[in-house]
Amino acid sequence: MRNDINIPIVLPVSKVEQPIGEFYVGRVDARTLTKISYTEIRAFVDGKQDKIAGIQRERSKKRIDEIKKYVNLDYATFPTSVIIAVAPECSRLVNFDPDMTPEQASAVFEEGDEQEIDDESKVFNLLLNSYGKKGGDDYIPAEKIAFIIDGQHRVAGLEGLDDDKEFDVNISVFVGASEADKAEIFARVNQAQTKVNQSLVVDLASYYEERGPVKFAHEVVLAMNQDEDGPLRDKVKRLGKADPGKGQIQTLAQATVVKPIVDYITADPEAERNKRYKGIFGSRRKPGEWRNYIFQPFYDEQDDGGMFLCLTNYFNAVKGRWPQVWDDAPAGTVLNRTTGYAALMKFMRPVYLHYCNEPGQILTRSDCEKVFAQIFIDAEDFNREEYLPGSSGAGKLYRQMMGYMGWKP
C-alpha cells in the first residue's frame, strides 16, 4: 500500500446536526484515512486498575486479516461510516470550493483567521492538517490527525488494500469531541448491535448473481429440504427459525447445514465467489486437492445434481440405519441435530474417499449402507448425555464411527 500523505487534506462535507452536537459527513480515500488515523485501546494505565484510558475494544487479528482479504474482492463494500474525531487545531471549515488545492488549504492554516461561513450552505470544505512543530508538547503529527471512534477493524483491514485498488470510505467527522462524547458515541453505536443470524446471511446468497460456493451449497440444501422422499425433507430451519408447530421436526438451522458443505468445496469461499463475480469459471486445482475438498469437482462443473445425489444417498443410509430417531427426532436426541449432523458431515469425507477414486464420482446409497451397517450404536444412545452438545460431542461421535470402521481419525 502506498505510504505518501499529502496534507493538508481537503474534504467536501455536509453538516449534520443532532442532539449531541454537529458533525460532518464526507468521503476520503482509504489510503489517506489509514495514514492519518489512530486508535486507543481501553486498558489499565501502567497496569493499574485505578487508572484506565482509551475507548476501543481489543483489536482482533483474525477479523483484521479477514477484512484485508475482503477489501481486495471485486464486490467489497463498506457502506457504513467510519467515525473519527479531530482536534480543532487540526481542522478548518471553509466555504465549499470544488477546485481548492492543498496549497490554498495550507494558506488557510497559515493565516490563522477564521473565514466567514455561509450559514445557508449545505456543503463545505473541511480542511485537515497536522499541528505544531515536531518535538513540541502540543505537536499533532499527520498520522494522528484522526482519532477512530468506530471502525478500527475496517481501517486496519484497509491497510491490506492492493496498490491497484481504489477504495473510498465514507466518514463522519466530529471536530473537538470531548472524551465523554467519544465514549458516548462509541457506546451507542456498539451496545445495540446484535450478532447477525448466520442463517439469514446464507439465505441472502439467493440474491447473488454469481453462483459462489455458498449460493451453490444453499441451493442444494433448499432442494433437499423440499425433496418429498429425501432424508432432509422439512428438517431445515430456514432463517434459523422453525415453522410454527414444527420445532421438533425442523431440527437443523440453515447455516448449520450449509457450512460443512461449503467447507468441502473450498477453504476460501469469498475468493471462489470473487472468481465467479469476475466471470472466471475455469480454475486450476492442485492434483489430489479434491481429496480434501470432495465437493470441489461438483462445484467446478456446476454439477449441483451430482452433489445433491451424494448427500441424499449418504443421509438416506443414515435414515435407513436409525429411522425412528432420524425421522421423529425425540426430545434429547442428537442424531439429526447440530451435534449429530456435524459428526456425520465430518465422517462423510472418509466414507466418500473409501468408495470414490475419481473426482466428481457419485457416492452410492448401497456403499453408504455398507458403512452404517458396521456402526453399532443403538438409537437410544444418541442422546445429550452420551454426546454433549457442541464440538466435544460431535468429535466423540465421529471418532466412534471411525473406530467401528477401523479408520484413523
pLDDT tens-digit profile, the chain (409 residues): 444 677 899 999 999 999 888 999 999 999 999 999 998 765 444 454 444 445 556 778 999 999 999 999 999 999 999 999 999 999 999 999 999 999 999 999 988 766 788 878 889 999 999 999 888 889 999 999 999 999 999 999 999 999 999 999 999 999 999 888 888 888 788 776 667 788 888 888 888 888 999 999 999 999 999 999 999 999 998 888 887 767 667 889 999 999 999 999 999 999 999 999 888 876 788 999 999 999 999 999 999 999 999 999 999 999 999 998 998 888 889 999 999 999 999 999 999 999 999 999 999 999 999 999 999 999 999 999 999 998 999 999 999 999 999 999 8
pLDDT at 195: 72
* Beta strand spans in 161-210 (E): 168-175
- 128 pairs with which residues across the strands? 9, 91
Closest CA to 263 of 349, 195, 200, 199: 349
Question: Cα(90)–Cα(8) distance, rounded to whole angstroms?
Answer: 9
Dihedral through CA 361, CA 366, CA 368, CA 370, nearest 10?
A: -130
SS3 139: coil
Closest CA to 407 of 336, 349, 340: 349
* Beta strand spans in 180-294 (E): 236-237, 252-253
pLDDT at 240: 82
Closest CA to 176 of 239, 94, 89, 47: 89
What is the H or E stretch that residue 127 is in?
A: strand 123-128
Question: Cα(239)–Cα(107) distance, rounded to whole angstroms?
Answer: 57
C-alpha cell belonging to residue 398: 465421529
Question: Cα(322)–Cα(351) distance, rounded to whole angstroms?
Answer: 18
- The residues near 282 (Cβ < 8 Å, ≥ 6 apart) are none
Q: What is the DSSP letter of 20?
A: T
Predicted TM-score of the model (pTM) = 0.77
SS3 134: coil
Question: Cα(277)–Cα(244) distance, rounded to whole angstroms?
Answer: 37
Helices (H), 335-390: 338-355, 365-372
Question: Cα(172)–Cα(166) distance, rounded to whole angstroms?
Answer: 20
